Amino acid sequence: MIAVNGLKKRFKLTKEAASSNSSRDPRQRDGYFNSVEEVSFTCEGNEVLGLLGPNGAGKTTTLRMLSTALTPDAGSIHIAGHDIIKSPLAGRKAIGFLSGTTGLYGRLTAKENVEYFAKLHGLKGRALKSRCESLYARLDMESFLGKRAEHLSTGMKQKTNIARAVVHEPDVVILDEPTTGLDIMTKQTIIQFIRELKSNKTPVVFSTHHLDEIALLCDRICLIDQGVSCFDGSIEQFKSAGQSEELNDAFLNIINQGRAHV
Protein backbone atom coordinates (compact mmCIF):
# COMPACT_ATOMS: atom_id res chain seq x y z
CA MET A 1 0.00 0.00 0.00
CA ILE A 2 1.06 3.59 -0.66
CA ALA A 3 -0.09 6.40 1.66
CA VAL A 4 1.03 9.95 0.99
CA ASN A 5 0.00 12.73 3.31
CA GLY A 6 0.54 16.49 3.21
CA LEU A 7 3.63 16.49 0.98
CA LYS A 8 5.43 19.77 0.42
CA LYS A 9 8.54 20.60 -1.59
CA ARG A 10 9.96 23.98 -2.47
CA PHE A 11 13.07 25.00 -4.41
CA LYS A 12 15.22 28.04 -3.72
CA LEU A 13 15.27 30.31 -6.75
CA THR A 14 18.31 32.12 -8.05
CA LYS A 15 18.30 35.87 -7.35
CA GLU A 16 17.47 36.58 -11.00
CA ALA A 17 14.57 34.09 -11.06
CA ALA A 18 13.23 35.30 -7.71
CA SER A 19 13.26 38.96 -8.75
CA SER A 20 11.73 38.28 -12.18
CA ASN A 21 8.06 39.20 -12.42
CA SER A 22 7.53 36.88 -15.36
CA SER A 23 6.08 34.02 -13.25
CA ARG A 24 2.37 34.40 -12.67
CA ASP A 25 2.33 31.14 -10.75
CA PRO A 26 1.14 31.84 -7.19
CA ARG A 27 3.60 29.19 -5.98
CA GLN A 28 6.52 31.59 -6.50
CA ARG A 29 6.92 33.41 -3.17
CA ASP A 30 9.69 34.85 -1.00
CA GLY A 31 12.55 33.59 -3.13
CA TYR A 32 11.19 30.03 -3.40
CA PHE A 33 9.14 28.08 -5.90
CA ASN A 34 6.70 25.89 -3.95
CA SER A 35 6.39 23.08 -6.51
CA VAL A 36 4.33 20.84 -4.25
CA GLU A 37 2.23 22.63 -1.65
CA GLU A 38 -0.12 19.93 -0.32
CA VAL A 39 -0.37 16.52 -1.94
CA SER A 40 -2.11 13.51 -0.37
CA PHE A 41 -3.36 10.22 -1.83
CA THR A 42 -3.57 6.49 -1.17
CA CYS A 43 -3.22 3.43 -3.38
CA GLU A 44 -3.97 -0.11 -2.15
CA GLY A 45 -2.35 -3.38 -3.26
CA ASN A 46 -4.85 -4.21 -5.95
CA GLU A 47 -5.12 -0.68 -7.34
CA VAL A 48 -3.60 1.38 -10.12
CA LEU A 49 -3.58 5.10 -9.41
CA GLY A 50 -3.30 7.66 -12.20
CA LEU A 51 -1.62 10.92 -11.31
CA LEU A 52 -3.09 13.67 -13.44
CA GLY A 53 -2.48 17.38 -13.72
CA PRO A 54 -1.66 20.18 -16.15
CA ASN A 55 1.96 20.80 -17.20
CA GLY A 56 3.97 22.03 -14.26
CA ALA A 57 1.38 20.90 -11.68
CA GLY A 58 3.94 19.05 -9.54
CA LYS A 59 3.50 15.40 -10.64
CA THR A 60 7.16 14.65 -11.34
CA THR A 61 8.24 16.41 -8.14
CA THR A 62 5.74 14.27 -6.21
CA LEU A 63 6.91 11.04 -7.85
CA ARG A 64 10.55 11.93 -7.21
CA MET A 65 9.72 12.28 -3.52
CA LEU A 66 8.01 8.87 -3.57
CA SER A 67 11.11 7.37 -5.20
CA THR A 68 13.35 8.91 -2.47
CA ALA A 69 15.26 10.94 -5.11
CA LEU A 70 14.00 14.11 -3.38
CA THR A 71 13.38 14.64 0.34
CA PRO A 72 10.08 16.38 1.14
CA ASP A 73 10.08 19.54 3.26
CA ALA A 74 6.98 18.26 5.07
CA GLY A 75 4.48 15.41 4.99
CA SER A 76 4.73 11.64 5.16
CA ILE A 77 5.14 8.76 2.68
CA HIS A 78 4.47 5.16 3.68
CA ILE A 79 5.19 2.49 1.09
CA ALA A 80 4.73 -1.24 1.72
CA GLY A 81 5.04 -0.71 5.47
CA HIS A 82 8.12 1.54 5.28
CA ASP A 83 8.25 5.17 6.34
CA ILE A 84 10.41 6.05 3.37
CA ILE A 85 11.39 9.49 4.68
CA LYS A 86 12.85 7.93 7.83
CA SER A 87 14.15 4.78 6.08
CA PRO A 88 14.94 5.71 2.47
CA LEU A 89 17.21 2.68 1.92
CA ALA A 90 14.53 0.18 2.91
CA GLY A 91 12.08 2.16 0.82
CA ARG A 92 14.30 2.04 -2.24
CA LYS A 93 14.31 -1.76 -2.21
CA ALA A 94 10.53 -1.78 -2.10
CA ILE A 95 10.09 0.64 -5.00
CA GLY A 96 10.51 0.24 -8.74
CA PHE A 97 10.81 3.73 -10.22
CA LEU A 98 10.80 4.79 -13.85
CA SER A 99 11.65 8.46 -14.19
CA GLY A 100 11.39 10.55 -17.32
CA THR A 101 15.15 10.98 -17.27
CA THR A 102 16.30 7.46 -16.41
CA GLY A 103 19.44 6.73 -18.37
CA LEU A 104 20.77 3.49 -19.78
CA TYR A 105 24.43 2.67 -20.30
CA GLY A 106 24.77 3.37 -24.03
CA ARG A 107 27.64 0.96 -24.65
CA LEU A 108 25.87 -1.95 -22.96
CA THR A 109 23.20 -3.94 -24.77
CA ALA A 110 19.57 -3.89 -23.60
CA LYS A 111 20.14 -7.31 -21.98
CA GLU A 112 23.37 -6.22 -20.28
CA ASN A 113 21.65 -3.11 -18.91
CA VAL A 114 18.81 -5.10 -17.33
CA GLU A 115 21.13 -7.79 -15.98
CA TYR A 116 23.53 -5.23 -14.56
CA PHE A 117 20.72 -3.76 -12.46
CA ALA A 118 19.54 -7.25 -11.51
CA LYS A 119 23.02 -7.98 -10.15
CA LEU A 120 23.08 -4.68 -8.25
CA HIS A 121 19.92 -5.89 -6.52
CA GLY A 122 21.64 -9.14 -5.55
CA LEU A 123 20.09 -11.46 -8.15
CA LYS A 124 22.32 -14.15 -9.61
CA GLY A 125 22.39 -17.52 -11.31
CA ARG A 126 19.10 -19.18 -12.22
CA ALA A 127 16.98 -16.66 -10.32
CA LEU A 128 18.50 -13.81 -12.36
CA LYS A 129 18.05 -15.70 -15.64
CA SER A 130 14.44 -16.65 -15.04
CA ARG A 131 13.43 -13.19 -13.75
CA CYS A 132 15.06 -11.44 -16.73
CA GLU A 133 13.68 -13.89 -19.29
CA SER A 134 10.18 -13.45 -17.93
CA LEU A 135 10.52 -9.66 -18.25
CA TYR A 136 11.93 -9.88 -21.79
CA ALA A 137 8.93 -11.97 -22.84
CA ARG A 138 6.31 -9.83 -21.06
CA LEU A 139 7.77 -6.61 -22.48
CA ASP A 140 8.34 -8.12 -25.93
CA MET A 141 12.06 -7.30 -25.87
CA GLU A 142 13.57 -10.42 -27.47
CA SER A 143 14.20 -8.86 -30.90
CA PHE A 144 16.53 -6.15 -29.58
CA LEU A 145 18.17 -7.65 -26.49
CA GLY A 146 21.57 -7.78 -28.21
CA LYS A 147 21.52 -4.18 -29.45
CA ARG A 148 23.53 -1.53 -27.69
CA ALA A 149 21.31 0.90 -25.76
CA GLU A 150 22.71 3.85 -27.73
CA HIS A 151 21.20 2.33 -30.89
CA LEU A 152 17.75 1.56 -29.49
CA SER A 153 14.58 3.37 -30.58
CA THR A 154 12.56 5.42 -28.05
CA GLY A 155 10.15 2.54 -27.45
CA MET A 156 12.91 -0.05 -27.09
CA LYS A 157 14.69 2.21 -24.59
CA GLN A 158 11.49 2.66 -22.60
CA LYS A 159 10.86 -1.10 -22.40
CA THR A 160 14.47 -1.62 -21.28
CA ASN A 161 14.08 1.13 -18.67
CA ILE A 162 10.90 -0.47 -17.34
CA ALA A 163 12.53 -3.91 -17.16
CA ARG A 164 15.46 -2.35 -15.32
CA ALA A 165 13.12 -0.55 -12.89
CA VAL A 166 11.19 -3.68 -11.90
CA VAL A 167 13.88 -6.37 -12.19
CA HIS A 168 14.06 -6.74 -8.38
CA GLU A 169 10.30 -7.45 -8.12
CA PRO A 170 9.49 -4.33 -6.11
CA ASP A 171 6.47 -4.15 -3.78
CA VAL A 172 5.23 -1.01 -5.54
CA VAL A 173 5.84 0.44 -8.99
CA ILE A 174 6.00 4.16 -9.77
CA LEU A 175 6.13 5.27 -13.40
CA ASP A 176 6.55 8.86 -14.58
CA GLU A 177 4.77 9.22 -17.94
CA PRO A 178 5.60 5.67 -19.07
CA THR A 179 3.92 5.92 -22.49
CA THR A 180 4.95 9.41 -23.62
CA GLY A 181 6.25 9.40 -27.20
CA LEU A 182 5.54 5.70 -27.83
CA ASP A 183 3.77 4.08 -30.78
CA ILE A 184 0.45 2.30 -30.35
CA MET A 185 1.93 -1.21 -30.15
CA THR A 186 4.58 -0.28 -27.59
CA LYS A 187 1.94 1.59 -25.57
CA GLN A 188 -0.27 -1.49 -25.62
CA THR A 189 2.59 -3.69 -24.36
CA ILE A 190 3.18 -1.30 -21.46
CA ILE A 191 -0.53 -1.06 -20.65
CA GLN A 192 -0.72 -4.87 -20.58
CA PHE A 193 2.38 -4.98 -18.36
CA ILE A 194 0.73 -2.57 -15.86
CA ARG A 195 -2.40 -4.77 -15.89
CA GLU A 196 -0.26 -7.80 -15.02
CA LEU A 197 1.33 -5.92 -12.13
CA LYS A 198 -2.15 -5.13 -10.86
CA SER A 199 -3.30 -8.73 -11.16
CA ASN A 200 -0.23 -9.70 -9.08
CA LYS A 201 -1.47 -7.22 -6.43
CA THR A 202 1.42 -4.80 -6.97
CA PRO A 203 0.17 -1.23 -6.52
CA VAL A 204 1.12 1.02 -9.42
CA VAL A 205 1.19 4.82 -9.49
CA PHE A 206 1.79 6.42 -12.86
CA SER A 207 1.56 9.95 -14.19
CA THR A 208 0.05 10.62 -17.57
CA HIS A 209 -1.65 13.21 -19.74
CA HIS A 210 -3.64 10.51 -21.53
CA LEU A 211 -7.14 10.12 -20.14
CA ASP A 212 -7.76 7.06 -22.33
CA GLU A 213 -5.04 5.26 -20.32
CA ILE A 214 -6.72 6.34 -17.09
CA ALA A 215 -10.01 4.85 -18.33
CA LEU A 216 -8.27 1.61 -19.37
CA LEU A 217 -6.11 1.04 -16.32
CA CYS A 218 -6.92 3.05 -13.23
CA ASP A 219 -9.03 2.37 -10.18
CA ARG A 220 -8.16 5.71 -8.62
CA ILE A 221 -7.17 9.19 -9.72
CA CYS A 222 -5.18 11.85 -7.92
CA LEU A 223 -5.48 15.20 -9.68
CA ILE A 224 -2.83 17.80 -8.86
CA ASP A 225 -3.20 21.44 -9.81
CA GLN A 226 -0.64 24.10 -8.93
CA GLY A 227 1.01 21.84 -6.37
CA VAL A 228 -2.19 20.83 -4.56
CA SER A 229 -4.07 17.53 -4.86
CA CYS A 230 -7.55 18.80 -5.58
CA PHE A 231 -9.01 15.30 -6.04
CA ASP A 232 -8.18 11.81 -4.74
CA GLY A 233 -10.70 9.03 -5.25
CA SER A 234 -12.22 6.44 -7.56
CA ILE A 235 -13.01 6.98 -11.24
CA GLU A 236 -16.73 7.12 -10.41
CA GLN A 237 -16.11 9.73 -7.71
CA PHE A 238 -14.00 11.69 -10.22
CA LYS A 239 -16.86 11.78 -12.73
CA SER A 240 -19.29 12.74 -10.01
CA ALA A 241 -17.03 15.52 -8.61
CA GLY A 242 -16.43 16.78 -12.16
CA GLN A 243 -20.14 16.53 -13.04
CA SER A 244 -19.50 14.64 -16.28
CA GLU A 245 -19.25 11.09 -17.58
CA GLU A 246 -16.46 12.33 -19.89
CA LEU A 247 -13.08 12.24 -18.13
CA ASN A 248 -11.86 15.28 -20.11
CA ASP A 249 -14.79 17.41 -18.99
CA ALA A 250 -14.62 16.14 -15.42
CA PHE A 251 -10.88 17.00 -15.37
CA LEU A 252 -11.50 20.57 -16.53
CA ASN A 253 -14.46 21.07 -14.20
CA ILE A 254 -12.54 19.91 -11.11
CA ILE A 255 -9.60 22.19 -11.99
CA ASN A 256 -11.94 25.16 -12.53
CA GLN A 257 -13.84 24.49 -9.29
CA GLY A 258 -10.53 24.37 -7.37
CA ARG A 259 -9.21 27.58 -8.92
CA ALA A 260 -12.51 29.40 -8.28
CA HIS A 261 -12.05 28.76 -4.55
CA VAL A 262 -8.51 30.20 -4.39
Ligand X SMILES: Nc1ncnc2c1ncn2[C@@H]1O[C@H](COP(=O)(O)OP(=O)(O)OP(=O)(O)O)[C@@H](O)[C@H]1O
Q: How far apart are alpha carbons 203 and 166 in whole angstroms?
A: 13
Near ligand X by CB under 6 A, which window of 58-66, 79-87, 103-111, 182-190?
58-66
Minimal distance, residue 150 CB to ligand X, in Å: 25
Instruction: Assess 60 for contact with ligand X (CB under 6 A).
Output: yes
Q: Applying CB under 6 A, does 117 fall inside the site for ligand X?
A: no
Q: Which residues of 114-130 are buried (b: 16+ CB within 10 A; e: fewer)?
A: bbebbeeeebeeeebee
Q: Which is nearer to ligand X, 39 or 135 (CB)?
A: 39
Which of 139, 144, 137, 145 minimizes the C-alpha distance to 111?
145
Which CB atom, from 56 or from 75, has the smaller least distance to ligand X? 56
The sign one gets for the Cα dihedral 193, 194, 195, 197 is positive
Among positions 50, 58, 72, 242, the unique one binding ligand X when judged by CB under 6 A: 58
Question: How far is the C-alpha of 34 from the C-alpha of 75, rounded, in Å?
Answer: 14
> Least separation, in Å, of the C-beta of 67 and ligand X?
13
Near ligand X by CB under 6 A, which window of 48-56, 139-147, 151-159, 240-248? 48-56
Residues in contact with ligand X, counted by CB under 6 A, come to a total of: 11
**Which SS3 state, helix, strand or coil, does residue 16 take?**
helix
Q: Which residues bind ligand X (CB under 6 A)?
A: 11, 33, 35, 53, 55-61
